[in-house]
Amino acid sequence: MSSATAQLQSEFDSYTPVVLRGMNVRRTEEDRLQFHCLGKVSYEAVRSIQLELGRARAAGQCGDAVIVCEHPAVLTLGTRTKPDDLFRSRAEWEAEGIKVVDVDRGGGPAYHGPGQLMLYPVVSLTERRMGVKDFVHRSLAAIADALRGAFDIPAEPILDPAGVWVIRRDFDGALVEHGRKIACVGLRIRGGVTDYGFCVNLKNSLTPYEFFAPCGLPRAQVTTVRQQLGGGSELDVEKFFLPRLMEEMRSAYADGRPVTSGKPVPLSRASHRGSLSPGLSGY
């Protein structure tokens, strides 16, 4: 292990887990996918860590990893953010205690905050023999499978618009309603290694979504696990969701392993237009 990677590991271990308090996270070479659970950490700190880890991964100094955390309230603006995507000024956002940060991923604005689970994979697509769309679908399918298994939420991975959606169907499989978005993706590829990642709405506030247009979607199309469970449920994330999610992600990223959620389809049932590319986002 290089000195840079050893220092990075020290940085990981210096954080006290909050999201995963009390969990015993396996870190074995045979897994080929390590989970670094940082708890509640600022967006800027995690960006610094992921970039350094990404450089180490591209140089072959470490294996694949996923950073797991949650953030204090922050609004990130992707490279495709338009002025009319925000319904109030930066000053008004920050007056509410929500930091606004410009980022170099594709896509538009995205909100992150307490109660939302952040997943930042640092995965070599070259070594895994995966394309970008394949990686995105495998990741979304893993999240959807974990949500269904842990909470019995009818979640489905969708590529257009990209994300995990709660979709109600009848017994014949026909759409009853187009659904609500419960997990998002914002991705960039650097040197064959994934950067940025995914977020899952567990019990975060939906109020910030009233003041910006995530992927041009109205607030009514965003949801959380807590909302799906009836609003008052206490989420035992550590016991039910995270261990299942880790296993689903390990399985989904394994070479040649098929995903379990079937072929991804656009929410509208139109043919997929191939909108994801190395610099784009599903926000």
CA distance 23 to 17: 9
List strands edge to edge, sheet with 74-77. Answer: 99-102, 74-77, 109-112
List strands edge to edge, sheet with 116-122. Answer: 33-40, 64-70, 116-122, 193-201, 175-190, 162-169, 155-159
Give Cα 280 to chain centroid, integer Å: 14
| Under 8 Å between Cβ of 176 and 165 | no
| Under 8 Å between Cβ of 182 and 164 | yes
Q: Among 37, 69, 184, 215, which one carries the catalytic annotation?
A: 215
What is the dihedral angle through the alpha carbons of 226, 179, 109, 236, rounded to the nearest 10 degrees? Answer: 20
Q: Which residues contact 268 (CB under 8 A, 6 or more apart)?
A: 160, 178
Nearest to 135, CA basis, from 155, 121, 147: 121
Catalytic annotation present for 215? yes
- Any idea which residues carry the catalytic annotation? 215
